[in-house]
Amino acid sequence: MALTLPAHPDPRHDEILGSGLLQELSYAFGGPFHFVLPERFDANLAAFRAALAEAGVEGRVYFAKKANKAAAFVERCARAGAGVDVASHGELREALGHGVRGEDLVVTGPAKAGRLLRTAALQGSLIAVDSLDELDQVLGLDTPRPVRVLLRRLPPSQPQSRFGLDDAQLDAALARCAGAGDRIRMEGFSFHLSGYEVRPRADLAGDLVGLCLKARTMGLQADRISIGGGFAVDYTSAGHWQAFLAGQGPDDYHARKRFAAGDFYPYHSPVAGAGALRAVLAARPHGTGAPLAVRLREAGVMLLLEPGRALLDGAGSSVFRVQGVKDRAGYGIVTVDGTSLSLSEQWFNSEYLPDPVLLADGPATGPAYRACVGGASCLDSDLLTWRKIAFPARPRPGDLLVYPNTAGYQMDSNESPFHDLPLPPKVVLRHDGGRPRWRFDRRTAH
């Protein structure tokens, strides 16, 4: 039986797919493209803010910009007064250029470039310091006002992480901050954890509240903590996900490719998005005492978070045109007009699993047909989907394949103009009933 993994039903998305607009855009651009839905971003942001308000916690949401390059999303942040997490000078420039104020930026990432630190300091942005060397660099900046910093904690539960300061380094950093006088404003601590679990986030957040109290005894401000990102996205139902994991094997993939189940993104998460934030706030750090929300309130500590993927849930999809189809024993190989670099997940020795939707160019005629999906490159390994997808009919050149819900990291984090193929443009869709309207994203040069 063919292995399927349908994305959650999304009637608005179906309306866009049924509107005929995607075929027109594919014809106009002559290549793959992505569409983004900023209203979904707004709704996700509102849900995170509601979770903070319900818990009575003062907090700020910073969109982790690395998750999508579209200007449309930072424009929404600017409009909504949300922050942006930037990790390069380019991201910082983009955020400022689309209206986000310098003081609404948090700068993350390791060993930040000198000009990133300098610009961030001049803009009054918050800098998450990752090492003692970096702290010294910040202390050496010649700026007219104190530089705002957080100290990033190496997570004790992930000691192999290359990010953050360990206990001894934190002590040294606190002493340097305390001795730096007006050159620095030490606003608190931060971390980002790999994975999507609630418990370690609540535990470490509780520890960071304790660190704030300790830092205050040294005369430092220490009134906020950032718990980074890692709020899961729930792409599919529990039933589909369990059936997929139980059923998959080498015969389901082209060339009998093997993927370790643990390398797949957890496409179903019972606790996801703003619900995951609610769970973190309700958890008792290390299983004892008051819930995190209460500890934050009592200590007067503000909660910062940096969701990327979760703010983009449902906020965009990627469209490819079928260029060719050929048969192999028992299945087929569909080749589309773009590459797997526009779907990113293969970069992580994994693949993007939610089923692509086939939009047939004309009436589809069965029977059902299984095929993997290859990219238009000369690399044998360039497959958007190694899995033999169960298509309702044999795809034909001119049909479209729509990969759903790709805005979070999938669509552009690893794109490159390999083979001199142009980067797929992004279009911003507005669809509030009636005909969907589109425009180019302001970052797409045309």
Ligand X SMILES: Cc1ncc(COP(=O)(O)O)c(C=O)c1O
Site for ligand X contains 356 (CB under 6 A): no
Q: By C-beta, is 20 or 195 nearer to ligand X?
A: 195
Least distance CB 106 / ligand X (angstroms) = 8
Which ranges of 217-359 does DSSP label H, i.e. alpha helix?
238-247, 273-282, 292-299
Q: How many residues does the chain have?
A: 446
Among positions 31, 155, 308, 316, the unique one binding ligand X when judged by CB under 6 A: 308
Site for ligand X contains 230 (CB under 6 A): yes
Q: By C-beta, is 229 or 424 nearer to ligand X?
A: 229
Least distance CB 84 / ligand X (angstroms) = 11
Q: By C-beta, is 83 or 424 nearer to ligand X?
A: 83
Segment 241 to 270, residues that bind ligand X, using CB under 6 A: none
Site for ligand X contains 310 (CB under 6 A): yes
In which region does residue 195 sit, left (phi positive, over 0), alpha (psi from -120 to 50) or beta (all else)? Answer: left
Residues forming a β-bridge with 126: 106, 148
What are 196's two structure tokens?
């999507």
Strands 357-359 and 383-391: unpaired
Least distance CB 108 / ligand X (angstroms) = 4
3-class secondary structure, 415 = coil
Pick the stretch among 93-101, 205-213, 307-315, 371-379 that binds ligand X (CB under 6 A). 307-315
Least distance CB 2 / ligand X (angstroms) = 31
Residues forming a β-bridge with 85: 64, 106
What are 33's two structure tokens?
């493209």
Site for ligand X contains 231 (CB under 6 A): yes
Site for ligand X contains 118 (CB under 6 A): no
Site for ligand X contains 307 (CB under 6 A): yes
Pick the stretch among 72-80, 135-143, 302-310, 385-393 that binds ligand X (CB under 6 A). 302-310
Q: By C-beta, is 150 or 358 nearer to ligand X?
A: 150
Please tell me the distance from the alpha carbon of residue 232 to that of residue 409, in angstroms, as a whole number. Answer: 13
What phi and psi values does residue 438 have, to the nearest 5 degrees?
A: -140, 155
Among positions 91, 187, 306, 351, the unique one binding ligand X when judged by CB under 6 A: 306
Nearest to 119, CA basis, from 107, 132, 136: 107
Residues forming a β-bridge with 176: none
3-class secondary structure, 21 = helix
Site for ligand X contains 387 (CB under 6 A): no
Site for ligand X contains 192 (CB under 6 A): yes
Taking CB atoms, the residue at the shortest distance from ligand X is 229
Q: By C-beta, is 307 or 374 nearer to ligand X?
A: 307
Please tell me the distance from the alpha carbon of residue 166 to that of residue 286, in angstroms, as a whole number. Answer: 19
Task: Please give the angle made by the CA atoms of 431, 432 and 436, to the nearest 5 degrees.
Answer: 30
Least distance CB 402 / ligand X (angstroms) = 23
Segment 67 to 86, residues that bind ligand X, using CB under 6 A: 67, 85
Least distance CB 229 / ligand X (angstroms) = 2
Q: By C-beta, is 23 or 194 nearer to ligand X?
A: 194
Least distance CB 266 / ligand X (angstroms) = 12
Least distance CB 188 / ligand X (angstroms) = 15
Nearest to 281, CA basis, from 322, 342, 231: 231
3-class secondary structure, 326 = strand
Least distance CB 228 / ligand X (angstroms) = 4
Q: By C-beta, is 100 or 336 nearer to ligand X?
A: 100
Residues forming a β-bridge with 321: 400
Among positions 64, 193, 225, 357, the unique one binding ligand X when judged by CB under 6 A: 64
Site for ligand X contains 40 (CB under 6 A): no
Task: Please give the angle made by the CA atoms of 79, 82 and 86, to the nearest 5 degrees.
Answer: 110
What are 178's two structure tokens?
């305390």
Site for ligand X contains 309 (CB under 6 A): yes
Please tell me the distance from the alpha carbon of residue 304 to that of residue 229, in angstroms, as a whole number. Answer: 10
Q: By C-beta, is 231 or 241 nearer to ligand X?
A: 231
Site for ligand X contains 130 (CB under 6 A): no
Please tell me the distance from the alpha carbon of residue 97 to that of residue 86, in angstroms, as a whole number. Answer: 13
Q: By C-beta, is 306 or 415 nearer to ligand X?
A: 306
State the number of binding residues for ligand X (CB under 6 A): 14
What are 435's two structure tokens?
């005909």
Please tell me the distance from the alpha carbon of residue 368 to that of residue 4, in angstroms, as a whole number. Answer: 13
Pick the stretch among 27-35, 45-53, 290-298, 304-312 that binds ligand X (CB under 6 A). 304-312
Site for ligand X contains 229 (CB under 6 A): yes
Please tell me the distance from the alpha carbon of residue 134 to that of residue 112, in angstroms, as a whole number. Answer: 7
Q: What is the CA radius of gyration of the chain?
A: 23
Give the interface with ligand X as residue ranges (CB under 6 A).
64, 67, 85, 108, 192, 228-231, 306-310
